[in-house]
Amino acid sequence: MSVKLVAQENKSGDPDLAAQGFGCVKENGIKVFPVESDPADIYAFFEQNGFAVLSDSLGSEDVDFLNNFCDESQRRDPGVWGLSDKRKPHHRNQGLIFSQPLLDHPELDRFTRHPNSFPVVAHLLGGKEHVRFAEFNLRETPANSGVGAMNFHHDATIEDRFLRSPYLPCDYLCAIHYLSDVGEANPAFCVVPGSNKFETLKEAHDALGDDYQELPIRGAAGTCILYDTALFHTRLDGDGIQPRRTWHQYYARGGWLQSALPTTSKYRRSPSPVLTDWNLFPERLAMHENLEVRMFFSHWNTAQGEWAASGFDPEVRKAMPRGEQ
């Protein structure tokens, strides 16, 4: 059975249906940057549109390694993916999610600052010294899953993005790497360029006018999508039959930055608030002997602070949301 995104039906601009999109889906409208592109071109595109696509961010060896990890972890411990009889609530209608694989798998550490995407991430967050780890997860829309359509939405935002000058660096950034090829029949990440500077999708639609577009991002395994979490986006579900597998990593901005508001010549932008109240960092990373690594994993929420205060007691971890994997 073919599953179509409901967004394509809202051609009237009905504000009650705005979260489902406005039927302005444009195929083949994405500019893609090979990783060897001039970084300045990537930054300029991102500043204007709120996202950028790197065509070959992961090589075949990395893609194979992560896919083998997914296959093996699903076989060995299906419960961490929500494949057991008692599925976790946050998995419902969202496919499969391995929420915190870093907790027990140091073999994944090397991906947290991948050399092909991290330099771009660092620039967009104000420099390497300002990048903070926020979340790392693996996701899969299985074959024949036919999961329901997702509304357009944005992730975490900070209100001063409407006033500050300049807009960049971002408050939060997400990197999605495709671990499987994504063609017209597969679920595809879809963005509305330039929508990160608007409160609602309807506001973006009205203000952007003829420039308003809903762009599916398709590409080969290894493709990386970097987006400002304030950007409106969704998942198109393809034909409901073909699968998709992805690695998602979120970053926050740490440190204090000089910026400006209309009412003052300058002010200090504080670090971005923590992205979630449940994400945990393992002791080997949170207390790493290397200061740079320790700073990267220093954006702690209350759960992380309590776990660290307990001496990283495994029983304390198990009592926390998504801590028992």
Residue 39 sits in a domain of what CATH number?
2.60.120.620
Q: Are residues 21 and 95 in the same domain?
A: yes
Q: Are residues 184 and 298 in the same domain?
A: no
Q: Are residues 308 and 196 in the same domain?
A: no
Please indicate, yes or no, if residue 168 is contained in any of the structural domains. Answer: yes
10-residue mean pLDDT profile of the chain (325 residues): values are 32 51 86 95 97 97 98 95 68 77 98 98 96 97 75 93 90 98 94 96 95 96 98 89 95 88 72 95 98 98 97 96 80
* Domain span at 162: 6-263
- This prediction has a pTM of 0.91
**pLDDT, position 163:** 85
Q: Are residues 189 and 247 in the same domain?
A: yes
Q: Are residues 171 and 311 in the same domain?
A: no
Q: Are residues 292 and 255 in the same domain?
A: no
Q: Are residues 148 and 186 in the same domain?
A: yes
Q: Are residues 162 and 286 in the same domain?
A: no
How many independent structural domains does the chain possess?
2
Q: Are residues 68 and 187 in the same domain?
A: yes
Please indicate, yes or no, if residue 233 is contained in any of the structural domains. Answer: yes
Q: Are residues 143 and 280 in the same domain?
A: no
Phi, psi of 251 (to 5 degrees): -125, 145
Q: Are residues 15 and 78 in the same domain?
A: yes
**pLDDT, position 68:** 98
Please indicate, yes or no, if residue 199 is contained in any of the structural domains. Answer: yes
Last residue of a domain, one of 217, 235, 263: 263
Q: Are residues 131 and 190 in the same domain?
A: yes
